[in-house]
Amino acid sequence: MDSAKKKIESYQDLVVWQKSIDLVAEIYRIAGKLPPDEQYGLTSQLRRAAVSIPANIAEGFGRWHSNEFVRFLLIANGSLKEVETHLFIGNKLSLLNHADTKVALQMATEISKMIFSLRDKISRKK
């Protein structure tokens, strides 16, 4: 094993999980800029979808079978697409500006690529 590679012992060792936690923090920052009347609308939906990403990665990691891990990775990616959609809606409704969402959308793109790369690695090991 390459000494530069750390052994994965926990879902917390997965870089994709770590980056998804960073995305959650960014989404909470952005959602805090939404108007108070969106507290039970876009704000809530955005935060729930964001939190779902690392939660599904962690849950999939904890499953016994690699097929289930892959399934939860795909669910996490679905939540990621939901976050992106909520950000686009916030922009379209002029509730959020492009500068507020640009970094989060870039993070989402990177995480999505990582999810599919991990899925491919897991699928090859079967």
Q: Provide the pLDDT for residue 3.
A: 44
Distance separating alpha carbons of residues 26 and 54, to the nearest angstrom: 13
Nearest to 119 by CA among 29, 39, 14: 14
- To the nearest whole percent, how much of the chain has pLDDT over 90? 82
* Distances, alpha carbon 23 to alpha carbons 95, 110, 119, in Å: 19, 10, 20
Sequence ranges of the domains in the chain: 14-124
Q: Which residue has the tokens 């994965």?
A: 8
Q: How far is CA 29 from the centre of its chain?
A: 15
CATH number given to 14-124: 1.20.1440.60
Give the model confidence (pLDDT) of 79-113 as tens digits: 999 999 999 999 999 999 999 899 999 999 999 99
Per residue in 12-27, pLDDT (tens digit) is 999 999 999 999 999 9
Contact indicator for 53, 76 with CB cutoff of 8 Å: yes
The predicted structure's pLDDT at residue 4: 57
CA 96 to chain centre: 19
